[in-house]
Amino acid sequence: MKRKVVCMLMLLAAALFAWPVLAQNNEAGVRVIVIDAGHGGSAFPGAVYGGVKEKDINLAVALKLGALIEKELPTVKVVYTRKSDKALGKSLNEDLTARANIANEAGGDFFISIHANAAPKATSVQGAETIIMGESAKETKYNEEVLYDNNKDELIDMSDENTAAMVRAYIQNLQFTYGEYSEMMARIMQSHYQKGGRKVRTVKRQLLKVLYATDMPSVLTELGFMSNKSELAYMNSEKGQNAYARMLCDAVKEYVGHIDRLAGVSTPVVAAEPAPQTPAEEPKAQDSKAQEIAKPQPAVEKKVEPKSEDKVQSGYTIQLLASDKKISSKDSQFKSYRSKVECYVGGGVLKYKYCYGSYPTRQAAQRDLAEVKRSFKDAFVVRYEGGNIVK
């Protein structure tokens, strides 16, 4: 019995410490970016002020951002959760899940959800802010009024004990996987909002369903406050939407540059076209700044050939147990999963990971997890690539 406990502790330790320093999604650099225009369709317009609907602002900026990325980072694939005015599900939960599923199925390396904020009771409040998945220790009363008014339905309900425990375990894992990348991107985005002359607020943590369900670094950004007249006018203007797309694209390029350096790869960058000369107000400085920011990234030392590992089989599986030595798949310790387990190699002392099943998405694996847990109560979902457990 005692031995079993020790084994389980070791398994847990191996699971916790086996995460590679570089999140698996980033090992080959950033290849797929998922852009999510928040809300959509007649059922989910988002905030509505002065006849302007949030869903329309979100979509306009999302499409402009995607077009810039496609032009300036030609090897990066852009995937949209929606390219038109439509909802992705009948209920809000379905809608949010569908967005995350699109991102996960596309194998996204990064997820950006675009929204606009509202503070009905404080119309002077303004500024861009970016939210990452997490539980803030002290949500101020102000936040509750301002943000929760707006995002309430999109937050995970933590009143259920089981959900809360699962979510908290997930957040703890985040620090070994995507957390720092999401935070890095959030900070970069905020700095580009500032460079673009926008008021900025801080990077926040919230328990947002859509971020929870995406299996990649992810952020939700609020461009500005629709409840603030001048920010609403800016967000609703062609000029403002172009500027937001520019700021976000520059942020994406900076983020990709960081990931490239970490991964020792190089993503080709095409310089941005100078902003079009609009006859009136467009300040001259804007042009030179756009060019300066868009200068090709400093060449990275190590050039790598285009990845051939697209061919490598990858997906999700359920890890039943780990061992420091090879075990026959017919071994009795696999109980009813005898001859059904695959052996993968992962980190830690117990490097042989015995797993059941192969699933395209984490959610799909999660659905079978409960059944597996009847026999292996510490089983959990992992991602594999080729014969390796990567997370």
Q: How far is the CB of 54 from Zn ion (least distance, A)?
A: 5
- Cβ burial, residue 199 (10 Å; 0-12/13-18/19+): middle
**Of residues 304-323, those binding Zn ion (CB under 5 A):** none
- In this complex, which beta carbon is closest to Zn ion, that of residue 183 or of residue 222? 222
- In this complex, which beta carbon is closest to Zn ion, that of residue 38 or of residue 108? 38
- In this complex, which beta carbon is closest to Zn ion, that of residue 225 or of residue 376? 225
Binding mask 104-143 for Zn ion (x = CB under 5 A): -----------x----------------------------
Q: How many CB atoms lie within 10 A of CB 382?
A: 20
- In this complex, which beta carbon is closest to Zn ion, that of residue 99 or of residue 362? 99
39-45-46 Cα angle (round to 5) = 70
Q: Among the candidate windows 37-45, 75-83, 124-132, 304-312, which touches Zn ion by CB under 5 A?
A: 37-45
| Contact between 38 and Zn ion per CB under 5 A | yes
Binding mask 40-59 for Zn ion (x = CB under 5 A): ------x-------------
Q: How far is the CB of 39 from Zn ion (least distance, A)?
A: 6
Query: Which of 202, 195, 373, 381 minimizes the C-alpha distance to 289?
Result: 195
**Cα–Cα distances in angstroms (integers) from residue 166 to residues 128, 163, 172, 292, in the given order:** 30, 5, 10, 45
- In this complex, which beta carbon is closest to Zn ion, that of residue 31 or of residue 201? 201
- In this complex, which beta carbon is closest to Zn ion, that of residue 46 or of residue 108? 46
Q: How far is the CB of 47 from Zn ion (least distance, A)?
A: 6
**Residues interacting with Zn ion, by CB under 5 A?**
38, 46, 115
